Every structure is written in C-alpha cells, then in structure tokens.
C-alpha cells in the first residue's frame, strides 16, 4: 500500500502528532515456542558406541574349566578395566550433554533478550524514534504501512481528539503505538481512552488479518506518551511553556571553536519563531535546589541566569518530572 497518495496519506497527515509509556495493553500475547534442545551430536553418540563395541571385543571369555587360575585372574582384571572404561565414557558423555544444553539455554536467553530489547527504549529516547521520542519507525515489513494507515483511520474516528504520538513496528509482528489526548493540556489520555482506542484498532486489525493484508499473529501495545514525553521544537513550546523541561544542547567554545554538549533542567522564558531561538532560565525544581545545598532555594544569581540558544542547537527537549 502506498501512503504517499490518496486518502490514506491525507488521513495520516491529519491524524499524526508526535510522547514514554504507562499502562500498556497487549493484544494478543505473543505465541510461545517450545525449543527442543539436542542432547548431543550424532557424531559424539556414534563415537561413544563404537568405543563401547571395541571395548567389549578386546577380550574373549572362555570356559572356566579351560583356564588356569592365572588366566582367570587376568580375564577378570580385563573385564573390570573394560567396565571402568565404559563408565568413564558414559560420565564424559553425560557431562558433554549437560554443558551442551547449558550453552544452548544461554544462547536462547540472549536471543530472547534481543527480541524484547525495545522494552528499554525509553532509557534514552531520540526525537522521532517511534517510541518515547515520538514519530514513526517502520521495520520495513510488507504489512507495516497498512497497519499505520489503519491506525490513522482509527484516530479519525475519535474526531482527532486521540492522535498518534508515536508508531513503531517490529519484525516479530509487534505494533507499539502511543496516543495523546488533544483536549488535555499536556496530552495525557485516560485509561478509558487507551482502552477505547485499543479496542477499535484491534477490531480493524482483526479484519485486516482476515483479509490477508497483515499477518495473523500481530501483537498490539497501546500506551500514553508518558510524564516525561519529548517536546517537539518549536511546535510544542507554547503548549508546554509552563512545565520544567530537561534540555540537552550544544554550544561552541569561544576560544577553540569546539562544539560542546551540555544539559540541564530549565524553564522556558521566551521563544522567537522568526528568529528561531529560545531563552531558558534555571527551573525551580528539586534537582536544581539540591545543587545549592539541601533545603536551600535557588540563589538570586541562579534565578537571573539565562541561556539564549538557537533551535538548531537543541538536541533533546522533554518534560521533567520533579520526583
């Protein structure tokens, strides 16, 4: 399906709006796969049996009446040696199987973690990453554009009040979708909003599965942008100007000309869309007050400090939760 043309493209442009996740809902759960671990290679088993055969064929039992006492003692000693050798081989084989199984389990655990490493994606969100940073991130599968178009249509059914903040597909047939509520000042949907969107979207996905336009085992996760959502610059500065924000930015050293990165928790003082710059002050929040000493308020010098910086030097701006 081509989203660059037609109604789907129009709907997507109207519905999409770029925020971390709480209270995820999963529809349906992923399928569990039972992996049967091989006990040992065919060659190792065959080698073990051959050794056993050679051991048993290394001596000949004769009638006790035909053997002298010395010969009987030698025969018994040989038989004990063979039994001991067989036992050693069995112990070695059992140890090999155990080690082999442990290695396989270790590899399986690594694969399992890799499949679900996106669960930690909010640790360092990036603008437009399709997760905590908002935006769209498609895995390049044959069905993800269709799933995105369906999500845009579902958003329209809520009269634009529930809009897409981020959308991400994974190769393991998983859709992670975050929605924001436009009638809420800070874009936070309620649990009822999340459930209503999830139900409507799941119904449409089921229809698409039946039509064969998406896989039959797609899992869905719908959540909110989160309390520390990424703020789009400059589009959302006005919307969140009253909230403290974590800001990561770059500056140029006046003497060396080197680009340096810095960050802090600031309050937005003002911004100029035409001049493409903004002015920040130190936010009166716990993390900043702790730098001046426990329980002490910001000093006059800190309250008067200002940072004027162009939009292009802002690397990341997100809401700060003072907890």
Tens-place pLDDT, residues 157-203 = 999 899 999 999 999 999 999 999 999 988 899 999 999 999 999 99
* Helix residue ranges, H only, 161-222: 191-211
How many beta carbons lie within 10 A of that of residue 116, not counting itself? 12
| Cα 271 to the center of its chain, rounded Å | 34
Least-confidence region, from 204-213, 240-249, 250-259: 250-259
At 215-226, the pLDDT tens digits run 999 999 999 998
**208-211 long-range CB contacts below 8 Å, 24 or more apart?**
208/146, 208/147, 208/150
Q: Is pLDDT of 29 > 80?
A: no
316 close to 127: Cβ distance less than 8 angstroms = yes
pLDDT for position 45: 33
SS3 66: helix
For all residues of the chain together, what is the average pLDDT?
A: 74
Q: Is pLDDT of 28 > 70?
A: no
Q: Is pLDDT of 130 > 70?
A: yes
Report the alpha-carbon distance of residue 313 to residue 230 in Å, rounded: 16
Report the alpha-carbon distance of residue 108 to residue 243 in Å, rounded: 44
Q: Give the residue among 240, 319, 320, 260 at the shortest CA–CA distance from 287.
A: 320
Report the alpha-carbon distance of residue 127 to residue 234 in Å, rounded: 13
- Alpha-carbon distances, residue 147 vs 10, 67, 138, 219, 317 (angstroms): 15, 85, 10, 11, 29
Q: What is the mean pLDDT of residues 119-141?
A: 79
Q: Is the pTM of this model over 0.95?
A: no
278 close to 271: Cβ distance less than 8 angstroms = yes
pLDDT for position 88: 65
Partners of 223 in the β-ladder: 178
pLDDT for position 81: 66
């Amino acid at each position: 399906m081509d989203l660059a043309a037609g109604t789907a493209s129009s709907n997507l442009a109207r519905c999409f709006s770029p925020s971390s996740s709480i209270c995820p809902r999963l529809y349906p759960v992923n399928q569990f796969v039972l992996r049967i671990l091989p006990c040992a290679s065919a060659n190792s088993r065959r080698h073990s049996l051959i050794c056993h055969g050679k051991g048993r064929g290394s001596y000949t039992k004769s009638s006790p009446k035909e053997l002298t006492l010395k010969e009987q003692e030698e025969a018994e000693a040989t038989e004990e040696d063979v039994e001991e050798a067989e036992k050693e081989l069995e112990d070695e084989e059992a140890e090999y199987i155990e080690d082999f199984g442990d290695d396989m389990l270790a590899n399986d655990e690594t694969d399992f973690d890799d499949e679900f490493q996106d669960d930690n994606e909010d640790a360092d969100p990036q603008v437009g990453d399709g997760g905590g940073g908002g935006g769209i991130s498609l895995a390049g599968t044959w069905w993800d554009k269709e799933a995105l178009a369906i999500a845009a249509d579902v958003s329209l059914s809520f009269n634009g009040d529930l809009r897409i903040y981020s959308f991400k597909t994974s190769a393991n047939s998983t859709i992670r979708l975050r929605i924001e509520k436009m009638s809420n000042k800070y874009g936070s949907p309620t649990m009822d909003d999340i459930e209503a969107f999830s139900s409507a979207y799941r119904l449409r996905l089921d229809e698409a599965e039946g039509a064969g336009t998406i896989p039959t085992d797609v899992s869905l996760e719908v959540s909110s942008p989160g309390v520390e959502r990424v703020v789009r610059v400059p589009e959302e500065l006005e919307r969140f100007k009253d909230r403290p924000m974590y800001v990561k930015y770059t500056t140029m050293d006046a003497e060396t000309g080197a680009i340096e990165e810095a960050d802090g928790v600031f309050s937005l003082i003002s911004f100029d869309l035409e001049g493409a710059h903004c002015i920040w002050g130190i936010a009166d929040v716990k993390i900043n007050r702790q730098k001046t000493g426990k329980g002490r308020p910001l000093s006059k010098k800190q309250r008067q400090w200002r940072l004027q910086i162009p939009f292009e030097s802002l690397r990341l701006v997100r809401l700060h939760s003072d907890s």
